[in-house]
Amino acid sequence: MPKAWMSPDAVDFSLRGARSDVDLFGWYEAEPAGRWSRAAFAEVIIPAPPGTNGVVMVELQGRVFGTAVGGPARVRLSADDGPPVEVLFENDHFATVQAVLRFVPAGDRPRNLRLSLMRMDSVSPVEAGESDDERKIGIFAGRIAFHWNWNWKAGGEGS
């Protein structure tokens, strides 16, 4: 029998959103509404609850920079070392993108899940002619929700 869908678990990237049980690597300092990732690679390490089925739907609320210069932005997401899923930001406006990712299930023990994010074809503000900032910035994340035990066969929640 499939595991039941679990309530989503969210990470808030704003100044007020620090969580002691979540580790961030490859991210710049928090701003009032979120934080920028480094373009080359960023990670979120979050506890996966016991009883997960190895499928999580990740819902990223954020934006990118530089689509006026570089065209639509491709972002690759992966869980642990699983196959990446590419999402697309058509422009620099805030949007919500989703990706269904697979990982080794936690069984009845807690374990950490490593979400990797990589911005393809990134653009720096200096390349866009907007400032003298040479950083290759990736994604401005406001919030990432983790919908555990996503029913990928039905394309939605539930068992």
Task: Give the pLDDT band of residue 159 (cuts 50, 70, 90).
Answer: very low
Task: Give the pLDDT band of residue 30 (cuts 50, 70, 90).
Answer: very high
Residue 9 in domain? no
Residue 2 in domain? no
Residue 5 in domain? no
pLDDT at 1: 35
Domain range spanning residue 49?
Answer: 21-124+134-148
95, pLDDT greater than 90? yes
Q: Decide which of 81 and 100 is more confident.
A: 100
Neighbours of 16 (CB within 10 A): 7
Residue 141 in domain? yes
Residue 16 in domain? no
Distance CA 71, CA 47 (A): 35
Task: Give the pLDDT band of residue 5 (cuts 50, 70, 90).
Answer: very low
Tokens of 9: 């678990």
Average pLDDT estimate for 97-107: 89
Distance CA 15, CA 61 (A): 16
Amino acid at position 126, single letter = V
Average pLDDT estimate for 10-38: 93
Task: Give the predicted TM-score (pTM) of the model.
Answer: 0.87
Q: Decide which of 111 and 61 is more confident.
A: 61
Distance CA 147, CA 96 (A): 14
Residue 32 in domain? yes
2, pLDDT greater than 50? no
Contact present, 156 and 74 (Cβ < 8 Å): no
Distance CA 36, CA 73 (A): 14
Average pLDDT estimate for 119-144: 89
Contact present, 110 and 21 (Cβ < 8 Å): no
Q: What is the CATH number of the domain that holds 97?
A: 2.60.120.260
Task: Give the pLDDT band of residue 19 (cuts 50, 70, 90).
Answer: confident
Residue 102 in domain? yes
Number of compact structural domains in the chain: 1
Label each residue of 59-99 as H, E or C: EEEEEECCHHHHCCEEEEEEECCCCCEEEEECCCCCEEEEE
Beta pairing partners, 40:
none
Residue 157 in domain? no
Picking from 55, 73, 64, 71, the residue whose alpha carbon sits closest to that of residue 147 is 55
Q: Decide which of 37 and 3 is more confident.
A: 37
Contact present, 79 and 113 (Cβ < 8 Å): yes
